[in-house]
Structure 1
Amino acid sequence: MSESLRRARVATFTLFGTCGFLFGMWVVHIPAIEAQTGIDHATLGTLLLVLGVGAIGGMQLSVPLADRVGSGRTAIIAGLALSITTIGPGLATGAWQLGFALIVFGFTMGAMDVSMNSHAVDVEKRYGRPIMAAFHALFSVGGAAGALLGASTLAAGWAPATALLAAGVIGIVTVTAISRWVLRDPVRRPDESATAEKAPRRLSIRVLVLGGIAFALMLSEGVANDWSALQVKEHLGTPDSVAALAFGAFSVMMTIGRLTADRVSGAFGPVAVIRYGMLIAATGILLVLISGQLALTIVGWALFGLGLSGSLPQIFTAAGNLGSSSASANLSRVVTIGYIGFLSGPAIMGWISQVIPLTAAMTVPLVCALVVAACSGAVRRTPITVHRTHSSLS
């Protein structure tokens, strides 16, 4: 194994970790920014949907850019842009300002998400064995670090703008440091190299199925990211610094699950990872629904994170190894469909919370978890998929 490939793997870990860190810092400041701008839950939900629109736009831009300059370079550009735009939500003092800041922040987040996942698929192909879940684990590590740092700055009385500015500087320094380690060219399988340019770029049934599963998974993850802290604060009456522990517990268990998911998938297959993982997730969110105690509620969010942890990497690996068109295009389609859930889900939760309590609205991710568990057979590996995965070794 070459030193350049090892460095590319480290660079990919770093990109995922940085993205998670910046996103985590934003998430734990949501309650403070909501109060700073004077908006209610419904308005916040709508603005989170605006963030999603920006993310989808960024995803669409990242595909042709990755095809032209490579997924690695695109991820570096997007990472620097995301670091810069992280401060925007912290500066907002009203709904319109926050909306503008979130659409820009979402655009750069979407571009980084697709490009770093595309780069991860390229690195995984060269390694020739499952390593995707470990990359996603670093996103969770970054998210946990951002949650813990954000909770500390909130407890210390830092303004959101100050904390997010510091996070952005950290992101710029980190991404710049590994910018020379990414892969310089896209990686294609032998069956793609001769036909990728001629392949029609249309949605296949397999992509739609994977996208539908990604939609439900990312909707559930988005709910936890954007509403876990607010759920604890509203339901149990805790201060912001304590409520942030819900997202921290979720992120930590996502990390633990993703660090082991590659081995579990290799031993038992992706169907088992998704089926039993989502049953664990359903158990966790059920605890959140029925618990009136802080410790039990935190345990519920932790179990929800553990259950969700290994599923999405299985979907992204499957999408990145479809041979019907370019890997970047397929991955972008699945991620885009998933992101519609990731960011429309929290918006829907905001609207629902105007009618019923936020905790009761957590029935939505509970139903999603059960549906995904029931549909887990859709990601069963086929002989051709296995063959293609191994052919990347040659």
Structure 2
Amino acid sequence: MTGPVADVDLGCHLFRRLHEIGFDGRGMTRPSYGREENLAHALFMEVAAQYGLEMRRDWASNLYLTLPGRDRTLSVVMTGSHLDTVPCGGNFDGAAGAVAGLLVLCAWAKVGFRPERDTTLIVTRAEESVWFPLSYLGSRTAFGLLEPSALETPRSDDGLSLRHHMQDCGASPDLCGKAPVLDAAKIDCFVELHIEQGPVLLEADVPVGIVTGICGSTRYRSAVIHGQYAHSGATPRCFRSDAVMAGASMMTALHDAWIKAEAQGEEMTLTFGVCRTDETQGNFAAVAGRLELVIDIRSRDEALLERMNGLVIEQAFRVERDHHVRVELGPRTRSAPAVMDAALQADARTLAASLDIPFVSMASGAGHDAATFAMQGVPTEMLFVRNRNGSHNPDESMEMDDFMQGVRLLEHLLRKRAGSET
């Protein structure tokens, strides 16, 4: 199969520039609605202008780069991802999908290919919810799903509101709930390329994954267990209110439930990514009076997520009783699971086989903007690219050969949906 060929040198240039923009001395830090995210968006606009792509921003400063189709009344084919990172993250999470989409549109423009329908790259804002505890913030704003009250949410690093950071980046938060937004009925499909953030493709020794679904989540980002500080030698066990032992008991019970769920053939993950005592008061010779922790549960099974959430609450009550502590779980945040489109999956498998690109079908344990599109009824698919050393860390390691295989599959899939007349 032939077609426009994406420019690997342009891809290397974009990744190199993104590294220069985001490097913090160890990894990548491009905060949501921050200077580095702005510079990354500006880089994409600079390249898009060189290739004659149409450019626009919505009220939340999501970026849209479009190669116009022959019939602009037809529903649009879309691809895209994000350019923000977690603190001290890697250079490929999110960026790989945005770069891939731009390479496809630039390759089409370079050879004069004009699709039957508009084909648009969306570069979303603020996908990484570590900065604002709001899942899929950019894609949700694009569909008009953000409540105006969320604009007062503080960013984790400086405490300034989402509204403030939006305004500082040239967005118009006062238009939240008023400005035109994406209409799912006018979108033919959405395809997001992304690095895999786990080891499945490495273990299978294949470069590409065709995604079947995206896990939802239930999370407690600011849970606190309050005990009572006491002398470690002078306080017998029966008189203790030990926050650490209460937390350990709660975490162990939830972990045991995870093991049981897996034994019954259910799929989920459970993570306690933060577990810490108060560094100013906790010490070697004291019973801990305070423990902070976060709870992150993910699954494609909504019923399992709700069952585990009920267990979190149940265990909180139990350790309060058994360990004489007080548990504040704090607000719960959540996202719903999303199923990828069967027809797009079938097309991707057929195209990969015809292009001699080895692949496996697999689920996504991480959340992505693609989930928002799918939940709005847009036919949606994700393509994963092999990546070593996981993600959300400086050691993400994607080979350009693997990436270009993913780009080649993305190009053929988008061209099939957009119309292939030249």
Q: Normalized against structure 2, the TM-score is what?
A: 0.25
Which of 1 and 2 has greater Rg?
2
Choose between structure 1 and 2 for higher RCO, CA contacts under 8 A separated by at least 6 residues.
Answer: 1
Higher-strand-fraction structure: 2
Q: Normalized against structure 1, the TM-score is what?
A: 0.26
Higher-helix-fraction structure: 1
